[in-house]
Amino acid sequence: MRVLAQPAFVLHARPWRETSLMVELLTRDHGRVGVVARGVQGAKRHPLRAALQPLQQLRADFLPRGELARLLQAEAVDAAPRLAGDALMAAFYVNELVLRLLPRNDPAPELFERYGELRGRLGDAGGPAWQLRRFERDLLDLLGYGLSLEESEEGAPLDPAARYVLDAERGAVRDRSHAPGSTSGAALLSLAQDRPPPPEQLQELRGALRGVLAIHLGPQPLKSWGLLSALARLGRDQDISR
């Protein structure tokens, strides 16, 4: 049965055979859907090809056929955000994260809405770090991997002054040794209460959530993590050379 005028965001597109594209969509009612867009080369097909760019919001018609659907038509409904620098890298990261963690054809309307909100805020002043931490938290919750960020594994309220290790199964585990990589209770409480923390706590949350996400991603890390690390090293090298 054909799916018509389905709201969707483009997560990824790559060439397929000589004249087609394989496109991963995040749809409102069908979750992540892989589609094949046939014959998108040539001047007459330019509007369709232009609409199938990452971050673009669409209305898509497609015909489900096993693992991959056939894209019948797609129409852009707005202008994709024009991002650069950290915001653009953040967009690549979010798209890869959704591609890796969300199974195909698993409806996730709340995730669709949350992705749309994030897409509109990646270019906000102050950088994308806080918006990424909020999205990681919500993604884990919506996929059934959510953790309590206000109580320890023992059920005690988090102490803002204490240190914790965020475990993918046990939640916040008290770390009395204050080992490197632990996270302050204050940082975890800020995330739980949706309050932007100070920069040093935001950095702690980045490491804590990455550790949890790495468990669910399995042995193959995200490509965007490697690229971000390489860019960070390049930036440090440039600072040293000045």
Count of the separate structural domains present in the chain? 2
**Same domain flag for 219 and 150:** yes
Which of 24, 49, 76 is the C-terminal boundary of a domain?
Answer: 76
Q: Which two tokens stand for residue 145?
A: 């991997």
pLDDT value of position 41:
74
Backbone angles phi, psi at 169, to 5 degrees: -110, -40
Point out which residues pair with 21 in neighbouring strands. 15, 37
Distance CA 86, CA 8 (A): 24
Point out which residues pair with 25 in neighbouring strands. 10, 33
Q: How many CB atoms lie within 10 A of CB 30?
A: 22
pLDDT value of position 240:
36
pLDDT value of position 236:
47
Distance of CA 110 to the CA centre of its chain: 14
Domain residue limits at 158: 85-241
Compute the average pLDDT of residues 129-147.
97
**Same domain flag for 174 and 137:** yes
What amino acid occupies position 221?
P
Compute the average pLDDT of residues 3-32.
95
Which of 76, 102, 125 is the C-terminal boundary of a domain?
Answer: 76
Q: How many CB atoms lie within 10 A of CB 66?
A: 6
Pair 80, 57: CB distance under 8 Å: yes
Mean per-residue pLDDT over the chain, rounded: 91
Distance CA 147, CA 182 (A): 16
Backbone angles phi, psi at 88, to 5 degrees: -70, -40
pLDDT of 8 over the 50 cut = yes
pLDDT band for 241, please (50, 70, 90 cuts): very low
pLDDT value of position 231:
58
pLDDT of 167 over the 60 cut = yes
CATH number of the domain where residue 163 is located: 1.20.1440.120
What kind and span of H or E run contains 103?
Answer: none
DSSP symbol at 56? -
pLDDT of 101 over the 90 cut = yes
pLDDT value of position 44:
60
**Same domain flag for 33 and 94:** no
Percentage of the chain beyond pLDDT 90 is 79
pLDDT value of position 232:
55
**Same domain flag for 42 and 121:** no
pTM of the model: 0.91
Q: Which two tokens stand for residue 230?
A: 């390489």
CATH number of the domain where residue 37 is located: 2.40.50.140
**Same domain flag for 118 and 189:** yes
**Same domain flag for 91 and 62:** no
pLDDT value of position 178:
85
pLDDT value of position 239:
44
